A and B are shown apart, each in its own frame.
Chain A
């Protein structure tokens, strides 16, 4: 016999599982919080590094005349430290933003998953009850 309560709960679970949010949360659930944050931070660092290199090339192209004119007199040590400093500042900013935003998103995903597992537990209980009733009927 069909159990309406069970269908209701399972429908909720199915809707969540196939939603974008649910798919993303399931991926997040594969990680511990620290691992997840580390993973996202590494991706951010890579993206920022790639973006910084592009930006640096563009700046270099823009200022090419200046660099060619002053190639011998440039203070490369200062230039290098400026570039490195700028890059580090960008990376640190990006890492902080990533850490905060993905920490929040992990917490939200965790809450949604908690709710998901709670409903799953209810379904399991209903199934156990159904099993028990079936066994009793057989006996």
Chain B
């Protein structure tokens, strides 16, 4: 299996590299095969069968849209029929007119599937038309039924036109009307054609709808079911309307077509969108020559849904747990289920009460550092509040930098009444959080991370916390060039700063700087 995957990877890589030329060459080869087959079936004009003519036609069709390819093929076939006999003018006109009618009524609505109209009759002459509906169901839409039906009609038109060519009748005795009527009668009163159309249409529909079902191996299943439907349809059709096919041969051909479809499917999933693109564009400064090579994805990973069913805990479980706890195996109430509903409710109430007590302690006047260490997350919030309080007071701080990106309160060396808690942050390079314009900090400050601010719903609180940090915070990470968040209330801040430096018996940095400038000036 690995060998096949490796082979696929190699082919995909090769295709990516030369996608444009490979596509062009593939179209050219297919067109050549198609025209060559037309010539071998209707070999009436040797000139049209020359290699140069065939190559030229194939080259033209390879670069033209597929709907125009149908017209060129129709012209080629008409010319071959015209060359078959001097009495075949009427047949030529009829065949060409029929192609035109089909083009006007049907093919112009499905220009993308123009090649299908050619592929069906060509493959039918080889005995492998069965691959067409499977591939159309896999990669196309039910609209392609129209093109397939046109293809079947084209095959029958050519078949009966060939049968009705008046070879050995002298020109004087030819009855154009009779030739025309025989041909049309053969063509129209041909249930095999309609049955074939019906079978192919049903196969396309079945394959299309099954491959769209959301299930594992939908594509593979659709191929299998489509092949089964096709075999069954042809057997019934042959028994009822005598389609003129060998059932054994048809079954073998269908199975081969299914196998080929699987191979194509195996490659198509990766090759479909893997063609490299060479594009050129420009802007004011540069010309860009870009080769965009898509990343190859073998297929989207399937999402697996895992259903988790938790058994409802009963009182028996509580008893078992209690016994285990008594034996010292586990701690009571400390299991995944979290206890029975009653136990969970009690635990939740106890937890809530504990939190309320802690909240009361946090915001009380008798703030103690020991209260600020319950958890990392909780410590953050508590620390901010503490910082706010300390900042407003303008107290000196005991700062401990804890860890990168987190704020953890740590105990002061001495539990002094004047020592409050200010937190430091190791986060470097932050920008503003609050609304307003940015400004440069007069003093290194720190900003709480957004994760910290998530705890606060009210914007005013947020502002308060931020303001509370600036004045009294010393940053040990050396972030003097950081920007401070905007603060509309600058005066308050200045006051706090002045208050803080006054407590220390120093000038504020601004005042000190002004004094220094003055000294220099003098």
Contacts and interface: CB of A to CB of B under 8 A. Distances in A.
A55 B100 CA distance: 10
A23 to B, nearest CB: 12
Interface string A35-59: 0000000000001101100110110
Given A61-B180, A62-B180, A13 B94 contact: no
Contact of B288 (A10, A61, A97, A127): A10
A64 B290 CA distance: 65
A2 to B, nearest CB: 7
A6 B101 CA distance: 50
A68 to B, nearest CB: 10
A132 B13 CA distance: 42
Contacts, number: 58
B277 A51 contact: no
A97 B109 contact: yes
A135 interface: no
Given A48-B104, A51-B104, A62-B180, A15 B286 contact: no
B6 interface: no
B181 A62 contact: yes
A14 interface: yes
A7 interface: yes
Interface string B263-296: 0000000000000010111011010101010000
Contacts of A101: 109
A2 B286 contact: yes
Contacts of A54: 97, 100-101, 104
A18 interface: yes
Classify chain A's interface size: 20 to 34
Contacts of B279: 11, 14-15, 18
Contacts of A18: 279
B104 A50 contact: yes
B177 A64 contact: yes
B21 interface: no
Contact of B108 (A6, A7, A15, A47): A47
Contacts of A61: 177, 180
B177 to A, nearest CB: 6
Interface in A16-36: 18
A45 to B, nearest CB: 11
A47 B104 CA distance: 5
Interface in A93-113: 94, 97-98, 101
Nearest to A14: B279
A53 B109 CA distance: 19
B283 A127 contact: yes
Interface string B89-109: 000001001101101110011
Nearest to A20: B65
Given A61-B180, A62-B184, A64-B177, A51 B281 contact: no
29 contacts: A2-B286, A6-B283, A10-B283, A10-B288, A11-B279, A11-B281, A11-B288, A11-B292, A13-B281, A14-B279, A15-B279, A15-B292, A47-B105, A47-B108, A48-B105, A50-B100, A51-B100, A51-B101, A51-B103, A51-B105, A54-B97, A57-B97, A58-B97, A58-B184, A61-B177, A62-B180, A64-B177, A97-B109, A98-B109
Interface of A: 2, 6-7, 10-11, 13-15, 18, 47-48, 50-51, 54-55, 57-58, 61-62, 64-65, 94, 97-98, 101, 127
Given A7-B290, A10-B283, A51-B104, 5 more contacts: A7-B288, A10-B281, A18-B279, A47-B104, A51-B101
- Leading 4 A-B pairs by shortest Cβ distance: A51-B104, A14-B279, A47-B104, A14-B281
